[in-house]
Amino acid sequence: MLTERRATILGLVVREYVQTAEPVSSKALVDRRGLDVSSATVRNEMARLEDEGYITHPHTSAGRIPSDLGYRTYVQSLMAEEPVGADEQRTITHQLHQVAGALDEWLSLTATILAGAVGNVAVVTRPRAVTAGRLRHLQLVELNPDTALLVAVMDDGRLRQRLVPLRIPATQAQLQDRAARLNARMAAIDGASARALATEIADTDEASIVRATAELIEEHRGAEETYLDGLSRALRQPEFADPDRMLNAVARLQAYRLRSLLEGAADAQPGETRVVIGSELAADEMQDWSVVIARYGDIDAAGTVAVVGPTRMAYERTIPRVRYIASLMGQLLRDMR
């Protein structure tokens, strides 16, 4: 059972370790954290905490390090969140409004801001419709008489483009007409229906346009765009002092591998912030990592904001900042509509 005093000590161990990255000794807690018991008492309590699995030992004569369970307990019940101060809020919103207009720049900027605020790697995914994969609108632009550029606007506001060769040359006006006709038949169509429609159409060029659209819709369903920043900052943390570990970290934070980390929050509601610590992560090779993750948006479209870093992470700072940025993004997304 975690008595009040042991809980206090566990909290102090976590805080001290997060700050210094050194194993925490009983003496350090008494001296630097103002515990009013002796170091011997702390040692006894630490031994209990270790028995119960909250902290560990790198070796006999070293201080204590929180275990995943220790961090989990800390996050769940010991930690006091450090609110995002008024100044910091102002700075963040100010930075965020620098690029209003282009969604992709905005997302990449958000990753940069969040990474800066928490000193770790930040990941932001582009908002996607939950139902994602329907066409909102298509356009045809003449590039030359034999080729049209097909531009598909998807229901989440993203664009996809493809070149379509034309058997029969067409002018821009003709393409416009054709696009209008197709839009009428393909309102909010999904990939499968578009593919079915393509087979019914007699006109070769029109069929190939519809087929290309179907492909674009299907491609689009699977694609998740992620924006990442803060890698080189995060690598300065002492856990990566060893070149092998650093190399591992770089290799593992390639965008396409992040997907599995972010999946854990696919079912989270906007407003909810999740923390996944060390061994709680499904990926075996990420046992030293934690992820703080939130969804933003609403039923129409939602994306993910996350911070990824070593388990030794300032959770009390990171969690409210991820939550704050997620709520800001939700708001901005609503404003955009």
Binding positions for DNA, rule: CB under 7 A: 22-28, 37-41, 43-44, 46-47, 50, 57, 59-64
CB under 5 to 8 A by kind: which of DNA, a copy of itself, none does 98 bind?
none
CA dist., res. 220 & res. 135, Å (int): 10
Q: Which residues contact 136 (CB under 8 A, 6 or more apart)?
A: 153, 154, 155, 157, 188
Q: Which is nearer to a copy of itself, 24 or 198 (CB)?
A: 198
- Record the tokens describing residue 51, joined without a space: 């028995």
CB under 5 to 8 A by kind: which of DNA, a copy of itself, none does 163 bind?
a copy of itself
Query: Measured from the CB of residue 10, what is the shortest distance to DNA in angstroms?
Result: 13
CB under 5 to 8 A by kind: which of a copy of itself, DNA, none does 243 bind?
a copy of itself
CA dist., res. 9 & res. 11, Å (int): 5
Q: Which is nearer to a copy of itself, 83 or 238 (CB)?
A: 238
Q: Which is nearer to DNA, 46 or 118 (CB)?
A: 46
CB under 5 to 8 A by kind: which of a copy of itself, DNA, none does 101 bind?
a copy of itself
CB under 5 to 8 A by kind: which of a copy of itself, DNA, none does 38 bind?
DNA
Q: Which is nearer to DNA, 52 or 82 (CB)?
A: 52
CA R_g for the chain: 26
Q: Which residues contact 228 (CB under 8 A, 6 or more apart)?
A: 111, 121, 122, 123, 124, 253, 255, 258
CB under 5 to 8 A by kind: which of DNA, a copy of itself, none does 46 bind?
DNA
Query: Measured from the CB of residue 162, what is the shortest distance to a copy of itself in angstroms?
Result: 5
- Record the tokens describing residue 165, joined without a space: 């060769």
Query: Measured from the CB of residue 224, what is the shortest distance to DNA in angstroms?
Result: 41
Q: How far is CA 107 from CA 110, 169, 305, in A?
A: 5, 40, 10
Q: Quote the distance between the C-alpha of residue 280 and its chain's center.
A: 17
Query: Measured from the CB of residue 232, what is the shortest distance to DNA in angstroms?
Result: 24
Tally of helices (H runs) and strands (E runs) in the chain:
13, 11
The contact set with a copy of itself (CB under 8 A) reads 101-103, 136-137, 139, 141-144, 147, 149, 151, 153, 157, 159-163, 172, 176, 180, 183, 215, 219, 231-232, 235-236, 240-243, 246-247, 250-251, 254, 336-337
Residue 8 one-letter amino acid: T
How big is the CA angle at 262 (ends 256 and 263), to the nearest 5 degrees? Answer: 100
